[in-house]
Structure 1
Amino acid sequence: MFKKEIYINRRNYLLSNFSSGKILLLGNIENPINFEHNTYPFRQDSSFLYYVGIKSPRLAAILDIDSGETILFGDEMSIDDIVWMGQQQTLSEKSDLSGISKLLPFKELFNYLNKKPQDTIHYLPPYQSHNKLLLAKLTGLPVDLLQPSTTLIQAVVAQRSIKSEEEIIELEKAVDVAVDMHRLAIQMTKPGRYEYQISNAMQHFAQDQEMSFSYPPIVTKRGEILHNHMQFHQLHDGDILLNDSGVETSMGYASDLTRTFPVGKRFTSLQEEIYQIVLHAFKSAESLLTSGIHFKEIHLKACEALVDGLIQTGFMKGNAQDAVMNHAHALFFQCGLGHMLGLDVHDMEDLGEQYVGYTETEPKDTKTFGIKSLRLGKKLEPGNVLTVEPGIYIIPELTQLWEQQNLHRDFINYDFLKTHLDFGGIRIEDNYLIENNGYRRLGKYLEREIQEIYQLKDNPID
């Protein structure tokens, strides 16, 4: 945990946005895999972590707006708990570390809220089934009629979007370990190995650094499948491997890096060409990062850079700006350029992309293919932390569908494209802090130039 003053100040700042009522923050529970006592690894709710910092399951906190008091609801370990798990730090001790002096049993949560039933209860959108049912019981509303507080969502997003110095330190720790993890993956990848062997080695490395994956890693030679979690393929000379993976610190802060590299010693000539196109788009987007610019504008500039390169290699034709304006580029780049990063790898996505990545006056486009997958579009501010991750993906099924629908023939060279449907996908991704005049790339540098990757490949690790 951070120093208790940090949590106290965070809660006080949140309270300053309200005039009356109560703010209810729910922690997560341990969810069963196949029976009650065999659970998935526990991960605390990120907003609860941000304001309270305690990682134990089955907790709730109320921030009383009228009194300014914070009450933690939870239960100390029973003797049965101690028999099975041993004596651990008490909840009272954890509460003190969070700067919370009032601790009540979890069952008292119902009585506390019923003392003043006329009070407005502000709560965030629940995503665990347990908390949906709990909120239904607490509010008397059916699950499908729960009404999370827009005011609370907006206040939390505004506060958590600006990373403090101590948060940046944690994020850079996560990036540094992920950089070494990615280097390991590049150096150990060779023909004959399997994707899962690369993934397993990275997990072992992260755990040796007292960290865990921040999301299920994407380690695949089928990089055209954007979130490909299948890792059973054997690797062969001529394949390229896409590795999208990051780690999470003990405090919950995430990194999210991607590199694409040859399985053998070198890319093929076409792989080199496409890689250079993606790298150029990546650098073009990186150079535009600064406070005051809309991330959607950076996304569109990166798309133009991708199209310029695809025109030069024969996959596309026409004018790059016109192609992007008509969304023809989305055949090759179906997703967004990046997203916010912090306590979640897609930071605060549980609160809603419209609130996190957009504004009321500039709402998210939820219909246009390609743009609808852009998680972040709003104007950047100092203290924002985000990813930049352009890519080119050749998806046979999507290509066939577009050709059948006769889409964008003025921009897409289908005859040439159909000779390279087995290409796969290439993505490059780093993590950035937005500053007043520019940006800072977080953590250690991870090789991204072709010759730098070749140098790593020339120094393999068995």
Structure 2
Amino acid sequence: MFQTSIYQNRRGILSKNIQDGILVFPANRELGMNFADNVYHFRQDSTFLYYFGIDQPDIVGVLDTDTGEEIIFGDELSIDAIIWMGALETLASKCEKAGIKDVRPKKELAPFLEKAKRNQAIHYLPPYRHDIQIDLSLWLDLPINLVNKKASIPFIKAVVAQRSIKEEVELVELRKAVDITNQMHLKAMEMAQPGVEEAEIAAELQRIAQASGGQLSFPSIVTKNGEILHNHYHGNTLKEGDLLLVDAGAETAMHYAGDMSRTMPVGGKFSQRQKEIFEVVYGAHQTAIEGLRPGERFLDRHLAAAAALTDGLKDLGLMKGDTQEAVAAGAHTLFFQCGLGHMMGLDVHDMENLGEEYVGYTDTLQKSKEFGLKSLRLGKELEKGYVITIEPGIYFIPQLIDQWKANKHLEQFINYDVVETYKDFGGIRQEEDFVITDNGYELLGEEIAKTVEAVEKEVSR
């Protein structure tokens, strides 16, 4: 946990921003794998961690913005639990570290809320787990199909505004996460050799993350089929000439995330065609980074990267026509179907459960519904303290190519005969993590190999 004052200050700021009613923070519960006592790995709710820091299941935090009361509802371990789990730190002790003096049994929560809702507004965030959705339905006497619809928009907006700006103590944790993530990617480059199985690399990445005291920040993407954007299949054996795309990250013991991608040549040498596409992606990556600063719309960095990709693909004969017209029409999305990046923090896609329309956009900048842009998680102006990823890529998806070609879609910008020859190429992605500073940006962690020459050298060690 951080210092007590950090959690107290965070809750104080939030209460001032809401100024009306009760704020309810359900912690996550243990979830059984095949019976109640054989549980999945526990991961605490990130917003609960942010305001309370208590990494324990089945408790609920309550802030009364009218009276200033701060309460944790939860129970100490029973003797049966102690027999199996040992004498762990008490809930009372954890609450003291979070600056919470009022700790009450969990059974008192429902009557507390029943009484409060007669005279006060009850605010909660949209639940993403069904058990919490059921709890809120019972506590607040709401039909379950209305629970998410009744989530508090002011609460969501206040949390997003606060969690978006990373404190220095958070940046320390994020740098740790990225440093561990760097180690994972360097190990992947070392292992990218003919005869190695994807599963072996994925297992080693998980070992590094856990050996550092944390976990993976998301399921690792380790694949020679990089055209599948979120490919979690690890059943292939690498061979000379393959491209290996690795998108993976570590989470620290305090649950802050790292998220990086590298694409590498199995055996240590890119083919000419692989090198050409790699350098187009690298150029777009650098173009996107150059404009990172407070006040810059992330949407504009995305479009700048898309233009750089288009220019590079035109040079290789895959695209044609005016670059800006092609990007405006969305022609580049045949090759770049996703967004340039996202916010990162306690979640690898930070606060995604609160809604991208609130995290990445504003009342005046609405999220697009167009193909490609609809996958851009962040579009609004950057601010000092934002932590973001930059991850342009080029992906040759055979089914998408076939569909567009059959419909002659945007053929004024695409040389389909040339594109046909790339259908077995796969995909290339490059990703790094940045914090926005007063006048620009800072790369989190040390820079690891990302040019053609540097990646080849690292794989060939």
2:392 aligned partner: 390
Q: In the aligned structure 1, how far is the partner of 2:20 from the partner of 2:457?
A: 61
Q: In the aligned structure 2, how far is the partner of 1:110 from the partner of 1:286?
A: 50
CA contact under 8 A between 2:23 and 2:124: conserved in structure 1?
Answer: yes
- Aligned: 1:208 with 2:211: yes
Q: CA RMSD in A?
A: 0.7
2:195 aligned partner: 192
Partner deviation per Cα, 1:113-159 (whole Å, 9 max, x = no partner): 12233210000000111100000011111111120000000000000
Identify which range, 440-449 or 93-102, moves more after superposition.
440-449
- TM-score, scaled relative to structure 2: 0.98
Query: 3-state SS of the aligned residue for 1:141?
Result: coil
1:100 is displaced (CA, Å) by: 0.1
Identify which range, 237-246 or 402-411, moves more after superposition.
402-411
Of the three residues 347, 352, 355, the one matched with 1:352 is: 355
Q: In the aligned structure 2, how far is the partner of 1:183 from the partner of 1:374?
A: 28
Give runs of aligned pairs for residues 218-297 of structure 1, distance below 5 A. Answer: 218-297=221-300
- Aligned: 1:168 with 2:171: yes
1:165 is displaced (CA, Å) by: 0.3
Query: 3-state SS of the aligned residue for 2:187?
Result: helix
Q: In the aligned structure 2, how far is the partner of 1:362 from the partner of 1:37?
A: 46
AA aligned opposite 2:430: I
Query: 3-state SS of the aligned residue for 1:387?
Result: strand
CA contact under 8 A between 2:267 and 2:460: conserved in structure 1?
Answer: no
1:292 is displaced (CA, Å) by: 0.2
1:20 is displaced (CA, Å) by: 2.3
CA contact under 8 A between 2:71 and 2:101: conserved in structure 1?
Answer: yes
Q: In the aligned structure 1, how far is the partner of 2:170 from the partner of 2:76?
A: 29
1:98 is displaced (CA, Å) by: 0.4
1:406 aligned partner: 408
Give runs of aligned pairs for residues 60-459 of structure 1, distance below 5 A. Answer: 60-118=60-118, 119-146=120-147, 147-365=150-368, 367-459=369-461
Q: In the aligned structure 2, how far is the partner of 1:19 from the partner of 1:80?
A: 42
1:19 is displaced (CA, Å) by: 2.4
Query: 3-state SS of the aligned residue for 1:57?
Result: coil
1:407 is displaced (CA, Å) by: 0.2
AA aligned opposite 2:253: S
Q: In the aligned structure 1, how far is the partner of 2:258 from the partner of 2:398?
A: 31
AA aligned opposite 1:15: S
Q: In the aligned structure 1, how far is the partner of 2:300 from the partner of 2:175?
A: 26
Q: In the aligned structure 2, how far is the partner of 1:205 from the partner of 1:85?
A: 26
1:458 is displaced (CA, Å) by: 2.3
1:315 is displaced (CA, Å) by: 0.9
Query: 3-state SS of the aligned residue for 1:134?
Result: helix
Give runs of aligned pairs for residues 35-50 of structure 1, distance below 5 A. Answer: 35-50=35-50
1:33 is displaced (CA, Å) by: 1.6
AA aligned opposite 2:312: G
CA contact under 8 A between 2:268 and 2:457: conserved in structure 1?
Answer: no
1:40 is displaced (CA, Å) by: 1.1
CA contact under 8 A between 2:18 and 2:158: conserved in structure 1?
Answer: no
Query: 3-state SS of the aligned residue for 2:394?
Result: strand
CA contact under 8 A between 2:264 and 2:459: conserved in structure 1?
Answer: no
1:63 is displaced (CA, Å) by: 0.2
- TM-score, scaled relative to structure 1: 0.98
1:435 is displaced (CA, Å) by: 1.2
Partner deviation per Cα, 1:22-77 (whole Å, 9 max, x = no partner): 00011000111222112110000000000000010001010011111210010000
1:79 is displaced (CA, Å) by: 0.4
Q: In the aligned structure 1, how far is the partner of 2:248 from the partner of 2:116?
A: 47
Q: In the aligned structure 2, how far is the partner of 1:138 from the partner of 1:277?
A: 54
1:184 is displaced (CA, Å) by: 0.8
Q: In the aligned structure 2, how far is the partner of 1:77 from the partner of 1:104?
A: 14
AA aligned opposite 2:157: Q
Query: 3-state SS of the aligned residue for 1:261?
Result: strand
CA contact under 8 A between 2:113 and 2:140: conserved in structure 1?
Answer: no
Q: In the aligned structure 2, how far is the partner of 1:347 from the partner of 1:205?
A: 23
Q: In the aligned structure 1, how far is the partner of 2:226 from the partner of 2:134?
A: 39
Uncovered stretches (5+) of structure 2, i.e. residues with no partner: none
1:18 is displaced (CA, Å) by: 2.2
Query: 3-state SS of the aligned residue for 2:245?
Result: strand
1:376 is displaced (CA, Å) by: 0.2
Query: 3-state SS of the aligned residue for 2:441?
Result: strand
Partner deviation per Cα, 1:275-307 (whole Å, 9 max, x = no partner): 000000000000010000100000000000000
Query: 3-state SS of the aligned residue for 1:180?
Result: helix
Query: 3-state SS of the aligned residue for 1:17?
Result: helix
Q: In the aligned structure 2, how far is the partner of 1:311 from the partner of 1:189?
A: 30
